[in-house]
Structure 1
């Protein structure tokens, strides 16, 4: 990471940090994309089953991963503050916490999953696909969380190209395994959507193994001495990580869970509606990788500048990141307007599914605009280590406003399933407004405190 002075230098460093993160996030989301896409070509039942399974798993996975992502601002502040010797110890504590979280998920999930699926109004075949998909996927939970910690360490050093390389290595593995296990090619059993769960689990083990190898062998990571010394659990460091990570995790959980809740509430509609909704939501999630990547870049850059006491530079990076996200959201909106039918055709060959998916994608345009503001703002706030208010804002916007509005519109108007999407758009817009207000307030308070201290 380099100290910058001019806006052109900042833009260059922002791009250097951002582009590998963006490629990495797109590649990671592509794992879910290909799981959904390839399952859809196996049949609408497989697509619906994977949709239900993903809706149960993704909020939990992203929420708990969000807790571990608290490692990024911690490492950024340590490096910015000249305390690099403490990095290895903190990362090892993150790995211990990752193992604990994974074991807890496996234990609780084994007891609750059958109960949850039985309580939903699902067709028997859809329920079977969802159960087997999640059961197979659980094999990869431990390495998935472990990689989140190692990636946070790698990215905090500004080495986002390494994360990109690791993920790009894993993507062909996932696609190839899907090809074998979903469709039963080359003598493998035809597992349909459930095969995507096995493919993803194996992929996560590969990702983690490659990350460990890179951290041990490559510069500049080797200078931090990762895994050279055994460190037992430190509850003091866990407390520090959880203090930052838990609000981040809950913020991400509340955001992703509300989308999952909508998908689960869609179970009262027919299989074609569930499949079309999931296809449109999956593509919207793929586009979401743009503001999410900008958010992660801002956490690194703002955290680095804040740790070094360069508040003006931290603010400039925030403006640069949010402005870029808004501009790119307008581009994605045009893509959805012009090529909506072609996008829908990627997910299914059934004409009814394609037509309904295209309709859902129109609503996704409004997602992009709100996400372009809210998500980068959250990244900047994490760089300032201001995480609790964002958690509250996210909860209120999505769960107190967005979901209830969507439920009312879907249940008591002629909008039907589209009512849920309008509710989500409402919640996202409120959240974006409140988060932007919070960032301005934090930056003013930080400048005031620095002026008093001086």
Structure 2
């Protein structure tokens, strides 16, 4: 099979699984939207805080993908097993940090001026997700390991199967059971969080069984005795993973924190923004899958010391992301009105979301290229430059610029308190990031040192 075919097949398989995962959130949004506008606002705020913490920790573990891919390319199978066991120490530390941040969420709520009447439900939601974080991070390790091997199918099957459990479970736990003799009032929007905990535990448990029983994992000797911490190796992991995790945190929080700053505009703005952000997340799954697939192949070829093939894989990933982004953005722009109406029964929320979805289409065009480039840069151990660029542009121009323009005015522009103000500044920031990242990838793949 050609390199293009390998990347496309890998990305397609990952995409199916990622769409299943994002469907967890989309389903919760639909369920909360039909429960009440306040439930949708609670979900929007709680999800924003959870994602802001989770993605940094997830990104730190995901950054190990090129490490394992390069070991595989070099034929060092036994070293891969030892590397995975050492990564468990990183995972444990990440879980402690994440659970603490989610359980004690008051600073987040106070800092972002979340309306006090929403605090109890948001806090309850986040405390359930604090427990759910542990199996989620462990499953991310399993997923990343499979992706480094070029075998994402088992992960995809698990994620798709979990969706079949998640949707009905979220509905029942939210709305309860009305038919006799099992009548139950339900838990409201917090039921969605309990459903998330259930499916995370299900996926992790099944993943562990597969690791123990499937022949494809035997060459890597994963189940040998756990070694003591190898501090030099853990230091290398952290040197790569911490900047990568922080970069993803800045990238995603520049997106998710919009919901917290938009909350002061009222329930309709929060609810309509949640619909827009859900669709943006769905579209993002395509460049995410392409980034995973192309970085796995690029890392593999770098480990095999085939730098020209690594360069080809990187170029194919970027090219495919541009084509896919044009298609996805075009479809969303054309059908944004019926899409918005499918998410809510409130006419005001649907009308507002229709407008924001036009901005989401433009946002995605800017988002796609930088998403793939960020994965490719990790293959070349370039992590600090993306972190600095993300911080300056996404937090600076995108998030802070949107906040100033919305509530205080910016330069000669008067304050414009509207949801699309944030989408506009974030789109401009992402467009600049994409250009800078593409230049970094171009320079990295053509570094004369890499050709020796």
Contact 1:71 / 1:91 at 8 angstroms: preserved in 2?
A: no
TM-score by length of 2: 0.94
Q: Displacement, 1:120?
A: 4.6
Structure 1 residue runs without a partner (length 5+): 1-7
The alignment partner of 1:182 has SS state of: helix
**2:11 counterpart of 1:18:** yes
**2:255 counterpart of 1:262:** no
* Counterpart Cα distance in 2 of 1:378 and 1:105: 23
Structure 2 residue runs without a partner (length 5+): 410-414
Runs of 4+ in 1 over 4 A off after TM superposition: none
Aligned residue in 1 for 2:213: 217
**2:142 counterpart of 1:142:** no
* Counterpart Cα distance in 1 of 2:152 and 2:291: 14
Aligned residue in 2 for 1:81: 74
**2:236 counterpart of 1:234:** no
The alignment partner of 1:230 has SS state of: coil
* Counterpart Cα distance in 2 of 1:115 and 1:207: 31
* Counterpart Cα distance in 2 of 1:378 and 1:119: 29
Q: Displacement, 1:45?
A: 0.3
Alignment of 1:30-49 (within 5 A): 30-49=23-42
Moved more, 89-98 or 197-206: 89-98
Alignment of 1:376-387 (within 5 A): 376-387=372-383
* Counterpart Cα distance in 2 of 1:248 and 1:153: 17
Deviations 1:121-151 (A, max 9, x none): 4445432221111111112111111111111
Alignment of 1:9-408 (within 5 A): 9-111=2-104, 113-185=105-177, 187-408=183-404
Q: Displacement, 1:416?
A: 2.4
Aligned residue in 2 for 1:4: none
CA distance 1:407–1:117, shift in 2 (3 Å): closer
* Counterpart Cα distance in 2 of 1:188 and 1:215: 39
Output the aligned Cα RMSD. 1.6
Contact 1:403 / 1:427 at 8 angstroms: preserved in 2?
A: no
Contact 1:93 / 1:233 at 8 angstroms: preserved in 2?
A: yes
Q: Displacement, 1:364?
A: 0.3
The alignment partner of 1:346 has SS state of: helix
Alignment of 1:419-438 (within 5 A): 419-438=421-440
Q: Displacement, 1:328?
A: 1.1
TM-score by length of 1: 0.93
Aligned residue in 2 for 1:5: none
Aligned residue in 2 for 1:3: none
* Counterpart Cα distance in 2 of 1:66 and 1:230: 24
The alignment partner of 1:19 has SS state of: helix
Q: Displacement, 1:415?
A: 6.0
Moved more, 45-54 or 328-337: 328-337
Contact 2:45 / 2:260 at 8 angstroms: preserved in 1?
A: yes
Contact 1:49 / 1:129 at 8 angstroms: preserved in 2?
A: yes
User: What count of residue pairs does the alignment treat as equivalent?
Assistant: 442
* Counterpart Cα distance in 2 of 1:118 and 1:248: 28
